[in-house]
Structure 1
Amino acid sequence: MNLDFERIMPSIPYILEGIPITLQVVGIAAVIGFVLGILLSLMKISKLKPLNWIADFYTSIFRGTPLVLQLMLIYFGSPQLFGVQIDAFEAAFLSFGLNSAAYISEVIRGGIMAVDKGQMEAAQALGVPYKSSMLNIILPQAFKNILPALMNELITLTKESAVVTIIGLGDIMRRSYIVGGETYKFFEPILIAGLIYYVMVMILTIIGKVIEGRMRRSD
């Protein structure tokens, strides 16, 4: 194997500078996905059929098309649709956030449906409004059950963020590709990028297990 990491070593700090950009995209997208996911899940379990249809249509669009296609439509299509070029960073967290919301909504909906119906019936019998019952009784129990699934979505979001390289955002993967172009050695910088993603995912996995353990002890 003709590997030459010595030529790549000086460029490692440059690749590492992509970590904050990746984390910013993932963090903002996760917040958007979580908040919108909650809203969509509530729409899906609503007794109003139009809300069900809107939420289901939204989910079908974002789950039925590739994420990279959604990213390209938002970034490359914005000048034609709105007459303004959306910034690469904004296009990244918007596409990831909107996509993630579709998956998170299904996870949260499943968690809500798994909570014993008697909980809501008991709250209504005591005169607790639906909104308060959902926010203070049903959702907290649902989140305990779906925490592993939510952490898995966050991990998936972190790994899939690498596709932002196609719109030129200077994340980890983009920087490793640039280093490969400058040194004519692509395997080594991409391998280093893979190691960085692996470490990030392992850290998220550990954080998820710690949070899950604390929530179980609080029961």
Structure 2
Amino acid sequence: MNIIEIFRSSLPVLLEGLRMTIIITISSLLLAMVVGLLVSLLRLSGKKALDFLAKGYIDIIRGTPLIIQAFFLYFGLPDLLNLRISNLTAGIIIMTLNSGAYMAEVFRGGILSVDKGQTEAARSLGLPTGKTMRKVILPQAVKNMVPAFINQMIISLKDTSLLSVIGLGELTQKGQIIVASTYDSFEIYFIVGVMYFLLIKLLSLLGEAVERRLRV
């Protein structure tokens, strides 16, 4: 078969894998934003114990490979606790914890980039700390964080391919299944690569559009 015929025959399976990849990416990134914001606020709280815990989490995630985190959270921890979770749930948790550590530093950098005078002005108007963060600091910080957010989205999307090691049926794993049955490795991996490229290019264009909108 030529590559066009292979593409047609494998497309339904690959699209199912692509759908799973998108679900994992979006779900984990939304949760990672919450985790990242909370962890960044702990680091900025001024309390040494909270800063130590938050920094410890970030250092552990950033200092270990994602594939080891996947093995630990899907095989190691459930075995220790004598419980079982689905590979989809595990995949979302793994990507959330991994992305959350990087998001925390993005949030922290964005918040610190806002001039301290903004906080002082809000305080002089009688705004409490929580409202100052929500109404004054974060809206300005988010504008500075958009490029880093988009970059993390792209990294997370590509990193989902490593979840094939826990049997999760995302795009890479579906490609591996097709190759195992057809032996058309060059054609299938080429198609999978193109699908990743197009999706990442779409994310990049979306990020550029958001940046232009925010500048206006």
Secondary structure of the corresponding residue to residue 85 of structure 1? coil
Q: How much has 1:8 moved relative to structure 2?
A: 2.1
> Within 2, Cα distance between the matches of 1:130 and 1:165?
44
> Within 1, Cα distance between the matches of 2:62 and 2:27?
20
Secondary structure of the corresponding residue to residue 214 of structure 1? helix
> Within 1, Cα distance between the matches of 2:80 and 2:212?
47
Residue 148 of structure 1 corresponds to which residue in structure 2? 147
Residue 92 of structure 1 corresponds to which residue in structure 2? 91
Residue 207 of structure 1 corresponds to which residue in structure 2? 206
Residue identity opposite 2:3 in structure 1:
F
| TM-score of the pair, normalised by structure 1 | 0.95
Residue identity opposite 1:43 in structure 2:
L
Residue 123 of structure 1 corresponds to which residue in structure 2? 122
Residue 5 of structure 1 corresponds to which residue in structure 2? 3
Q: Is the 8 A contact 1:168 1:174 kept in 2?
A: yes
Q: List 4+ stretches of structure 1 deviating above 3 A.
A: none
| Cα distance per residue 1:176-211 (max 9 Å; x no partner) | 111111111212111111100001001111111111
Identity of aligned residues (%): 39
Give the 3 Å change call, closer, same or farther, for CA 121–173 of structure 1 in structure 2: same
Residue identity opposite 1:124 in structure 2:
R
Residue identity opposite 2:108 in structure 1:
R
Q: How much has 1:25 moved relative to structure 2?
A: 0.5
> Within 2, Cα distance between the matches of 1:13 and 1:152?
29
Give the 3 Å change call, closer, same or farther, for CA 143–168 of structure 1 in structure 2: same
Residue 50 of structure 2 corresponds to which residue in structure 1? 51
Q: How much has 1:15 moved relative to structure 2?
A: 1.1
> Within 2, Cα distance between the matches of 1:70 and 1:31?
19
Counterparts of residues 1-219 of structure 1 (less than 5 Å): 4-5=2-3, 8-9=6-7, 10-217=9-216
Residue identity opposite 1:195 in structure 2:
V
Secondary structure of the corresponding residue to residue 42 of structure 2? helix
Q: How much has 1:78 moved relative to structure 2?
A: 3.6
Q: Is the 8 A contact 1:8 1:183 kept in 2?
A: no
Q: Is the 8 A contact 1:78 1:86 kept in 2?
A: no
> Within 2, Cα distance between the matches of 1:196 and 1:7?
16
Secondary structure of the corresponding residue to residue 146 of structure 1? helix
Give the 3 Å change call, closer, same or farther, for CA 187–72 of structure 1 in structure 2: same
Secondary structure of the corresponding residue to residue 40 of structure 2? helix
Cα RMSD, aligned residues only: 1.2
> Within 2, Cα distance between the matches of 1:111 and 1:17?
36
> Within 2, Cα distance between the matches of 1:11 and 1:206?
27
> Within 1, Cα distance between the matches of 2:183 and 2:79?
36
> Within 1, Cα distance between the matches of 2:94 and 2:82?
18
> Within 2, Cα distance between the matches of 1:74 and 1:57?
18
Could you tell which deviates more after superposition, 70-79 or 174-183? 70-79
Q: How much has 1:155 moved relative to structure 2?
A: 0.7
Q: Is the 8 A contact 1:78 1:85 kept in 2?
A: no
Q: How much has 1:215 moved relative to structure 2?
A: 1.1
